[in-house]
Structures are given as structure tokens and as C-alpha cells.
Amino acid sequence: MITNIIIKHNNLLNSNNIQEIAELKDLSYGTLDLFNCINYFETNDKTILFDKNNIGRGIELFINNDNIEFSLNLPSSIYEIKLLYSLIKNILIKLNANEFYKDNKLSNISNIEKYIDEDINNSINALQMINEKVEKNRFYTLVNAVNPIDLSIKEMKEINYDLKSFGKLINNLQSVDAIYTTPQLLNLNDLDTTIAIYVLIENTNSIIPNKVFNLSVDKKTIKNFYVLLSGIHFIRFEEFINNVELKYYDYNHSIIKLSRSKIDCLINNLEIDISAN
């Protein structure tokens, strides 16, 4: 479920004005990578705006010669819904305009409060749909501003169909003092194969998956996953995950922090030569 807003700007803005729009509300911005994690301060045809002090789903922004287009995935937090329409109002004032398109229908600035209420109600309905999917499939992956979150029954009970609780949860999880690690691809030319590696840093909180699944990248299927420690030491992911202590993050992910002594122990007992595997 998506709410879509288009503002006609008649060539008054260009694609380089993304930063200017973000500054209207002191927002951070970036783009999502292959794994739906933020690349800060990058822009493309789907730039994500968000408040670093209250991180939500993220507001998608696209600018061309004629239009400024915003999209917001629902459910979203009450805060972020109001943020979207406050931003729209600021831009309309800046352009000395009153009209915009809401879901392809021409509308007026006077309807903004009505649309806020509609998006809040639609978000509550969307939470119900997510809950049904979680009950059926055990978890639901929510794409957000900074990193995805895999919601389970645990999280849905915490939310309890309440948008304030939903907003608090997704902000707290995206604000955790930890690096959301994603696999980096490494080509082993001598073996004509590609492996995926998770790079972990000493004494640094990292969010890692509990289990890895085959990746399909550029028509290649990646089946071999490793953890890289101290920049040069490789350990098979499955063996690594079975020999470390993990703290719950979401349904499919945990937080880990490795001391120097633990890293040395893992290297001594589990390191492999990837050229021979």
C-alpha cells in the first residue's frame, strides 16, 4: 500500500535540488542498495528522505523537469505521515502553488489534514494485513529508510495494531548502535567462482543473519558464505554462527560483538583456506 504525491514545478527545480528539499525539514537522505540498506548522501531516481531522530519507512523522492514526486509505503508512523505532508506544504509555499496530485487525482493544499487521517487509517489496515502474513509465513520483511526489519509474532504483539508502537519499534531497531552487515561479493578468479563474505570488526556491534540463503546476482547463484575476521581470516558462515553468542535483533537477525580474544579463538579453531574449498 503506497501513498503517492506529485507536485508540478514547471522547471523551477532540477534533480540537483534533492538536498535543498531535504534541508527544508533537516532530513537525511540516501539510496537503498541491493539489500535495501541505506547509502547515505547518494541520490538516484529513488532517493530516500528520513529524519535521523525518528527513523521510519523513508519518503521516496524523485524529481524531473516537470514533477516532484513523493511516495510513502504504508504502514508508516504517524510522525512520518505528518512529516510528508508538512514537507509538501512547505514546497507548495516555496513554489507559490496550492495544487498537487494525490494518487493521480488533482487536489488542493486545503485537503492535507484529510489525507493525513486517511493515511493513518490505511496504515492501521496495513498493519492488519502484515499480521495476517506473519501468522501464515512466520515473518514479514519490512523495507525501511535505513535497513530492513523482519517482523515476527514477537514484534507484532509489541505493536498490537498501534501506529505509535509501530513507529517506536522501527525507529528503535534502525537506531541501534550497530552496523547492519550485508554480504560483499569476492571473485576467486583461480577457481572461477564467487563467494559472499560478511566483514566483522573487533569490538563493534554488528547485525548479522542467523542463517544465510543462496544469492542470485548477475545471473550467478552464490552458495558459499564466509565471515572475514581481521581482514585476512576466513571462516565458513555456518561454523562461525554455531560458535558465537548472539543477541536477538529481529526474526532473522542477531547482534554480535567480538572481542580480540574471541576473534583469536575463532581464527585458531575455524579458519580455512578459501582457495582450497
Which residue ranges make up each domain of the chain? Answer: 1-173, 179-270
Which amino acid, one-letter code, is at 196?
Answer: A
DSSP 271: -
> pLDDT by residue (tens digit) across 29-52?
999 999 999 999 999 889 999 999
Residues, the chain, total?
277
Least trusted range by pLDDT, from 55-59, 83-87, 108-112, 210-214? 210-214
Neighbour count for residue 210 (Cβ, 10 Å)? 14
> pLDDT by residue (tens digit) across 212-228?
988 877 767 888 999 99
CA atoms of 71 and 177, how far apart (whole Å):
28
Question: pTM of the predicted model, to two decimals?
Answer: 0.93
CA atoms of 222 and 224, how far apart (whole Å):
6
